[in-house]
């Protein structure tokens, strides 16, 4: 099986390292970044891939190190006829590009897609268009890596044979990091600055801080649970009159501590007899609660489920971001394509 890897950032580099380490039975015929693609019809060698990783780790563009093709994944597909496109380019919720058209082009041209990008969930229409194109052409489209980084949550959701009563969790590691730092004594601005320095916040920080990012992820999860949910259906709740975590002050956190409470940005889906209610907002919860104990950039999810008369809960927690952990789920997606 031949694959093209589009995007060589934190996830792309980690993906190639895992691919080499796990000796995945597939051939990488092209890898690309924003400067172009290094492509070889018979496959890139171990030496080629090691040089690519080393160049990217030094912050170089492929064009600085290799004689490359100034092209994109769409132009390479008809020429190299790969079996799988691994799409790991930046997320862009405005244009959806470059990933959205790469993904659709691949699926329209008999190529499976595995991705960690979130752009195709920018609207319900875009998401369904991608899913329908994959179904129509009998191809795999695995975007599990785009929600909860290293936690195999979407895979778990798809495998659950019970009814969902409620799913609630922390789907945004950057805001959880900010709240955790504030619990340790930092002010809001200082904690946001530290989150930015550590690379936890997206370029447009409002996307995280106001709760739009977890709202998008909630829709992706709901769709995988079999519900139809659009971003505009998710109620973005205000706390102290402000969206997301913008209304949380250190004073409020200190005051709540006296009552044994913490605040968390909670994404919630409730199933009211098949009618879904979804929201994202700051909630005051007991400090001993599973979600309050989820600290730093971690993500967590608890699910209330029902099988006949038995109600039960499942809990998931783990790293919601990071190149290595996210790449494990890209590898898992590729393996599912290989073993289909």
What radius of gyration do the chain's Cα atoms show? Answer: 21
Strand intervals (E) in 158-307: 163-170, 235-236, 238-239, 242-243, 261-272, 275-286, 298-307
> Which one, 56 or 283, has the nearer CB to ligand NAP?
56
Give the torsion sign (CA, 274, 279, 318, 295): negative
> Least CB distance from residue 202 to ligand NAP, whole Å?
8
The encoded tokens of residue 268 equal 């919630």
* For residue 98, cis peptide bond before it (omega within 30 degrees of 0): yes
Spatial CA neighbour of 112 closest among 154, 79, 77: 77
Q: Is 2 in the site for ligand NAP (CB under 6 A)?
A: no
Question: Residue 107 CA to chain centroid, in angstroms?
Answer: 20
Nearer to ligand NAP, 87 or 210 (CB): 87
Between 60 and 289, whose beta carbon lies closer to ligand NAP? 60
Site for ligand NAP in 111-150 (CB under 6 A): 116-118, 146, 149
Instruction: Say if CB 83 and CB 1 are below 8 A apart.
Output: yes
Binding mask 280-319 for ligand NAP (x = CB under 6 A): ----------------------------------------
In angstroms, the CA 2 to CA 296 distance is: 39
Among 326, 328, 333, 337, binds ligand NAP (CB under 6 A): 326
CB of 102 to ligand NAP, least distance (A): 8
Interaction pattern, residues 70-99, with ligand NAP; x per rule: CB under 6 A? --x---------------xxxx------x-
Distance in Å, CB of 294 to ligand NAP, minimum? 17
Site string for ligand NAP, 21-60 (x = CB under 6 A): -----------xxxx-------------------------
Site for ligand NAP in 182-241 (CB under 6 A): none
CB of 254 to ligand NAP, least distance (A): 31
State how far the Cα of 129 lies from the Cα of 123, in Å rounded to an integer. 10
As measured in angstroms, the least distance from the Cβ of 322 to ligand NAP is: 5
Number of neighbours of residue 85 by Cβ within 10 angstroms: 27
Q: Which of 107, 134, 321, 334 binds ligand NAP (CB under 6 A)?
A: 321
DSSP letters for 245-268: TTT--HHHHHHHHHTTEEEEEEEE
Q: What is the spatial distance between Cα 38 and Cα 76, in angstroms, rounded to a whole number?
A: 10
State the minimum distance, in angstroms, from the CB of residue 125 to ligand NAP. 20
Residue listed under structure tokens 């979407």: 154
Q: Say how many Å lie between the first and final Cα of the chain, rounded.
A: 12
Binding site for ligand NAP (CB under 6 A): 6-12, 32-35, 61, 72, 88-91, 98, 116-118, 146, 149, 321-323, 326
């Amino acid at each position: 099986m031949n694959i093209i890897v589009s995007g060589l950032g934190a996830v792309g580099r980690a993906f190639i390292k895992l691919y080499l380490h796990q000796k995945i039975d597939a051939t990488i015929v092209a890898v690309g970044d924003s400067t172009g693609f290094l492509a070889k019809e018979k496959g890139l060698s171990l030496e080629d891939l090691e040089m690519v990783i080393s160049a990217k780790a030094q912050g170089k563009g492929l064009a600085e190190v290799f004689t490359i093709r100034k092209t994109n994944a769409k132009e390479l597909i008809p020429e190299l006829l790969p079996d799988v496109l691994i799409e790991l380019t930046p997320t862009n919720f405005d244009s959806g590009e470059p990933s959205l058209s790469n993904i659709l082009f691949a699926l329209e041209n008999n190529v499976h897609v595995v991705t960690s990008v979130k752009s195709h969930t920018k609207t319900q229409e875009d998401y369904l268009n991608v899913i329908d194109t994959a179904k129509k052409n009998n191809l795999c489209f695995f975007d599990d890596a785009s929600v909860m980084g290293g936690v195999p949550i979407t895979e778990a959701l798809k495998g659950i044979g019970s009814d969902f009563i409620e799913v609630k969790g922390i789907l945004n590691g950057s805001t959880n990091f900010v709240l955790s730092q504030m619990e340790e004594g930092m002010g809001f601005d200082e904690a946001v600055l530290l989150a930015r320095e550590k690379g936890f916040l997206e370029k447009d920080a409002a996307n995280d801080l106001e709760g739009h990012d977890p709202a998008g992820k909630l829709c992706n999860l709901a769709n995988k649970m079999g519900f139809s949910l659009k971003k505009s259906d998710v109620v973005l709740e205000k706390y102290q009159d402000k969206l997301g975590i913008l209304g949380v002050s250190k004073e409020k956190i200190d005051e709540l501590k006296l009552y044994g409470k913490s605040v968390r940005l909670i994404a919630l889906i409730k199933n009211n007899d098949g009618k879904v209610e979804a929201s994202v907002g700051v909630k005051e919860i007991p400090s001993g609660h599973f979600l309050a104990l989820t600290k730093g950039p971690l993500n967590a999810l608890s699910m209330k489920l029902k099988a006949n008369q038995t109600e039960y809960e499942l809990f998931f927690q783990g790293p919601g971001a990071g190149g290595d952990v996210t790449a494990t789920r890209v590898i898992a997606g590729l393996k599912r394509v290989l073993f289909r």
